[in-house]
């Protein structure tokens, strides 16, 4: 199904019999590429987020070689290039600060080089959306190879999930139930193979989202990183991208509004991360596809929970793979999704999944007997979040979804750490914990601190959950009655900045409301006394970031990066 036979983009570099053709070819020949590689073969850029400092992507160095095999086999010419990699558990203050920087790196690296098609090797949380955003702003044929989850964590006879165990251990430490030695032992038991977090955290949610968008081969997202079938998938992706170039099947042909709606529905059905909302909105913004925060509630919140994975459930990604993987989930959703949305293999998502079997109903429920009826992310509005805030009801036990309590305010994350375990702190289980200064501008970078740990004195009383609200994000591996992404954030003067200790706050998830019960007059008075915080940087990328980052409901992209600039480059360097 070749759409056209127009000249390859790479021929602008390699197809000329003149000085610049010589220059473009000659230096590349130092790697031993024979002459026929420069004669009309689709050049495939393998964009690699491998790094020793990104543990979840450390295996991708080898995967590039496997993709290359597939590209050569299909008649293409593979060239791998590195981009900045974001290691979620290593980088400070938060990888989200650099998601947009990576997208710029990817965009400019693709456009400036002689590439006809792109393979994105991704894994850890931000490495997926950042690379896709960059690729969207260029618009070439693109396929994603998700790096795959780690094998199930195994500790003292039980399965333990990345991240989710971390939050549990933190509480057990506070309660005095485990020792520092226990903690050290648990570390290598949780992370025992290559791959990204194997809970349904942000990495697994984004990988599943990519497959639901149609950007990865069917079944690719759930295969564990160390399973030989993951290598097969990388090889086949190398094959396929060459064909996509010949068919001129561009990323914008796949990422339509229908594809985004499918991704929203699938993210609900898998109990996926709230971070997906921000990333999908940013990706859509690069393509000019209309997508707003209310779409996530309207399209996703009534979807049933079909996947029983931590943190919402009991199992892990390896179990999802053995149960049939994402195609089995998508098949269950066939009455809801747009089955005709096209995917990277040239077939529709409906065709790809129509015969996908389910092997374990404890892991993947049938649509007629879901684990929960309404599992998607709820979008809240009110005077505390005029542009929206979000909560993931499936990550709670439901008891606090309708709750009114007095605010206990922390002005910053440092303030929180300093006072949370102070025995004199006036707080009980009915209080609403409020954290300010952790939004995109305020932190900066909107870290995953929204699921503030509870005070030690309440944990010791057996309290497991409280209402927490902030302008932060939350790790997809976390749980609790946590309201996130409050927009506008406190640092730019959202009403969150005006909350004081003792104010009454009402959470009404059913009614989609978050209300600060303080009069308009009183708020106006407090606003007169409020001053914005001093900017944290007056130079460099952080300065650029805080001056241009958009709010959470708009995807946290830098405003000037929205849209794309295509792939054309008309001028030569010499
Ligand atoms: Fe990399 Fe969780 S830390 S995916």
C-alpha atoms less than 13 angstroms from C-alpha of 100 in its C-beta half-sphere:
25
- Which SS3 state, helix, strand or coil, does residue 452 take? coil
Q: Which residue's C-alpha comes closest to atom 1 of ligand 1?
A: 124
Token duo for residue 201:
């955290």
pLDDT digits over 409-424, tens only?
Answer: 999 999 999 999 999 9
Q: Where does ligand 1 bind, in terms of residues with CB under 6 Å?
A: 56, 88-89, 124-125, 162, 196-197, 201, 203
Give distance in angstroms: CA of 112 to centre of ligand 1. 30
pLDDT score, position 176: 85
Q: Which residue's C-alpha comes closest to atom 2 of ligand 1?
A: 197
Give distance in angstroms: CA of 267 to centre of ligand 1. 18
Q: Is the pLDDT of residue 370 over 80?
A: yes
Torsion sign (Cα): 542, 546, 547, 550: positive
Give distance in angstroms: CA of 550 to centre of ligand 1. 24
Cis peptide before 488 (omega within 30 of 0): yes
pLDDT digits over 292-320, tens only?
Answer: 999 999 999 999 999 999 988 899 999 99
Considering the domain 378-537+544-553 in this protein, what is its CATH number? 3.50.30.80
Give distance in angstroms: CA of 569 to centre of ligand 1. 36
pLDDT digits over 35-44, tens only?
Answer: 999 999 999 9
Domain ranges of the chain: 11-151+193-353, 378-537+544-553
Looking at per-residue pLDDT, the higher value among 6 and 232 belongs to 232
Report the distance separating Cα 23 and Cα 28, nearest Å.
Answer: 9
How far apart are the two ends of the chain, measured CA to CA in Å? 38
Give distance in angstroms: CA of 8 to centre of ligand 1. 37
Which of 53, 197, 199, 204 has the most ligand 1 atoms within 8 A of CB, as the residue to mutate?
197
Give distance in angstroms: CA of 563 to centre of ligand 1. 28
pLDDT digits over 175-203, tens only?
Answer: 888 898 998 999 999 999 999 999 999 99
Ligand 1, residue 55: give the atom nearest the CA.
1
Give distance in angstroms: CA of 76 to centre of ligand 1. 32
Give distance in angstroms: CA of 448 to centre of ligand 1. 12
Which of 58, 126, 196 has the most ligand 1 atoms within 8 A of CB, as the residue to mutate?
196
Which of 125, 126, 146, 478 has the most ligand 1 atoms within 8 A of CB, as the residue to mutate?
125
Ligand 1, residue 475: give the atom nearest the CA.
2
Give distance in angstroms: CA of 158 to centre of ligand 1. 21
Ligand 1, residue 123: give the atom nearest the CA.
4
Ligand 1, residue 125: give the atom nearest the CA.
4
Give distance in angstroms: CA of 213 to centre of ligand 1. 21
534, with CB counted inside 10 A (0-12, 13-18, 19+), is exposed
Other Cβ atoms closer than 10 A to 18: 7
pLDDT score, position 3: 52
Which of 96, 99, 124, 195 has the most ligand 1 atoms within 8 A of CB, as the residue to mutate?
124
Q: Is the pLDDT of residue 5 over 80?
A: no
- Which SS3 state, helix, strand or coil, does residue 172 take? helix
List, in sequence order, every residue forming a beta bridge with 410; answer none if it has no partner: 435
pLDDT digits over 109-144, tens only?
Answer: 999 999 999 999 999 999 999 999 999 999 999 999
Other Cβ atoms closer than 10 A to 270: 31
pLDDT digits over 82-107, tens only?
Answer: 999 999 999 999 999 999 999 999 99
Q: Which residue's C-alpha comes closest to atom 3 of ligand 1?
A: 88
Report the distance separating Cα 141 and Cα 547, nearest Å.
Answer: 32
Q: Buried (b) or exposed (e) across 98-108, using 16+ Cβ within 10 A?
A: bbbbbbbbbbe
Token duo for residue 46:
């393998």
Q: Is the pLDDT of residue 291 over 90?
A: yes
- Range 410-415, long-range pairs (CB < 8 A, 24+ positions): 410/434, 410/435, 410/436, 410/452, 411/436, 411/437, 412/436, 412/437, 412/438, 413/437, 413/438, 413/443, 413/447, 413/449
pLDDT score, position 175: 82
Averaged pLDDT for residues 526-541:
95
- Dihedral, CA of residue 141, residue 278, residue 399 and residue 172, to nearest 10: 90
Range with the poorest average pLDDT among 135-149, 218-232, 477-491: 477-491
Give distance in angstroms: CA of 256 to centre of ligand 1. 28
CA 516 from centre of chain: 30
Give distance in angstroms: CA of 299 to centre of ligand 1. 27
Which of 195, 201, 208, 473 has the most ligand 1 atoms within 8 A of CB, as the residue to mutate?
201
Architecture of 11-151+193-353 per CATH?
Answer: 3-Layer(aba) Sandwich (3.40)
């Amino acid at each position: 199904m070749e759409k056209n036979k127009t000249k390859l983009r790479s021929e602008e570099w390699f197809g000329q019999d003149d000085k610049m053709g010589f220059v473009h070819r000659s230096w590349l020949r130092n790697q031993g590429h024979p002459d026929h590689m420069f004669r009309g073969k689709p050049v495939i850029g393998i964009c690699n987020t491998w790094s020793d400092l990104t543990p979840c992507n450390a295996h991708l160095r080898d995967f590039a070689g496997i993709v290359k095999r597939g590209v050569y086999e299909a008649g293409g010419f593979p060239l791998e290039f590195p981009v900045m990699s974001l290691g979620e558990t290593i980088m400070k203050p938060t990888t989200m600060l650099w998601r947009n920087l990576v997208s710029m790196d990817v965009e400019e690296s693709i456009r400036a080089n002689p590439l006809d098609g792109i393979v994105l090797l991704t894994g850890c949380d931000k490495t997926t959306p950042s690379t896709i955003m960059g690729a969207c702003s260029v618009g070439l044929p693109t396929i994603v190879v998700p790096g795959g989850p780690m094998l199930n964590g195994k500790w003292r006879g039980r399965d333990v999930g990345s991240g989710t165990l971390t939050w549990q251990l933190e509480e057990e430490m506070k309660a005095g139930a485990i020792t520092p030695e226990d903690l050290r032992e648990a570390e290598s038991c949780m992370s025992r193979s290559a791959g990204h977090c194997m809970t349904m955290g942000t990495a697994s949610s984004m990988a599943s989202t990519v497959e639901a968008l149609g950007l990865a081969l069917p079944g690719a997202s759930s295969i564990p990183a160390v399973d030989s079938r993951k290598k097969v998938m990388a090889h086949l992706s190398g094959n396929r991208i060459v064909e996509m170039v010949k068919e001129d099947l561009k990323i914008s042909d796949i990422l339509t509004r229908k594809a985004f709606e499918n991704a929203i529905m699938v993210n609900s059905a898998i109990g996926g991360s709230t971070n997906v909302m921000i990333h999908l909105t940013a990706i859509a913004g690069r393509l000019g596809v209309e997508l707003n925060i209310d779409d996530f509630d309207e399209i996703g919140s009534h979807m049933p929970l079909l996947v029983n994975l931590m943190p919402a459930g009991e199992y892990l990604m390896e179990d999802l793979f053995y149960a049939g993987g994402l195609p089995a989930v998508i098949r269950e959703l066939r009455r809801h999704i747009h089955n005709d949305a096209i995917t990277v293999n040239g077939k529709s998502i409906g065709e790809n999944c129509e015969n996908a079997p389910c092997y374990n109903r404890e892991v993947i429920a049938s649509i007629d007997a879901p684990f929960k009826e309404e599992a998607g992310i709820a979008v809240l509005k009110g005077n505390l979040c005029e542009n929206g805030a979000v909560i993931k009801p499936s990550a709670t036990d439901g008891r606090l979804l309708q709750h009114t309590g007095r605010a206990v305010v922390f002005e910053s994350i440092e303030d929180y750490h300093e006072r949370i375990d102070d025995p004199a702190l006036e707080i009980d289980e009915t209080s609403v914990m409020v954290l300010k200064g952790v939004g995109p501008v305020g932190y900066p970078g909107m870290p995953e601190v929204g699921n503030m740990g509870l005070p030690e004195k309440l944990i010791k009383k057996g309290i497991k959950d409280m209402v927490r609200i902030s302008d932060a994000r939350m790790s997809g591996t976390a749980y609790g009655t946590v309201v996130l992404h409050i927009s506008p954030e406190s640092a730019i003067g959202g009403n969150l900045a005006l909350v004081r200790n003792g104010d009454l706050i009402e959470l009404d998830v059913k009614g989609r409301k978050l209300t600060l019960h303080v009069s308009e007059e009183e708020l106006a008075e407090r606003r007169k006394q409020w001053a914005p915080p001093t900017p944290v940087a007056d130079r460099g990328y952080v300065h650029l970031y805080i001056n241009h980052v958009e709010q959470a409901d708009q995807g946290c992209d830098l405003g000037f990066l929205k849209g794309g600039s295509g792939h054309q480059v008309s001028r030569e360097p010499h």
